[in-house]
Amino acid sequence: MRIPPYYQQPSWQRFFSGVAIGAIISWIVFLFIYGVLQEKHRTIIDKQKVTIQDLEKDKELYQEEYSKINKEAQKKITVQAINVHLVNGEKYLFKDFRIKKIEDDVKDNLADLIAKDMESVYANYKLIENIVENKTHKVDGKDYKLKMTKFMLYTTIYIEVEISLI
């Protein structure tokens, strides 16, 4: 058996060359359309990546700000420090270190109030007053008693006391 010699006829040569050229052209068109679509999708994906990164940065900033505000709010509603001021220490000729020692003693007695919420501290105002006023302080063999004259409550408790002989 022999293969018929179609390659010699010009009509068959034109058909096969047309098929080959058509296949090549269709492949080029396919690659062009595919490339255009891939480029569109790639630009969309890049835009979405940029948007996602921006949103993640915003989310981190908001979360940091939110946690910072929560910490500040928590600090605001709790007692952070206690300040005690002895008003009339000079009347009894106390030196600065004696006044400081009496103020530190009062602070030490009230140290449990630090980090407590302000509502419970305010509810126990009379107890705080009794703690300050019922303790006697011995200075140079004499007993002294404190009287609370001012009590201010915020994140810092400020107490003014007067000292007197018993």
pTM above threshold 0.85: no
DSSP string, the chain: -----GGGSHHHHHHHHHHHHHHHHHHHHHHHHHHHHHHHHHHHHHHHHHHHHHHHHHHHHHHHHHHHHHHHHHHHTB--EEEEEESSTGGGT--HHHHHHHHHHHHHHTGGGTT-BHHHHHHTHHHHHHHHHH-EEEETTEEEEEEEEEEEESSEEEEEEEEEE-
Per-residue pLDDT of the chain (166 residues), as tens digits, is: 566 666 677 887 888 899 999 999 999 999 999 999 999 999 999 999 999 999 999 999 999 999 999 888 777 788 889 999 999 988 888 889 999 999 999 999 999 999 888 888 999 999 999 999 999 999 888 999 999 999 999 889 999 999 999 8
Domain chopping of the chain, boundaries? 6-75, 81-165
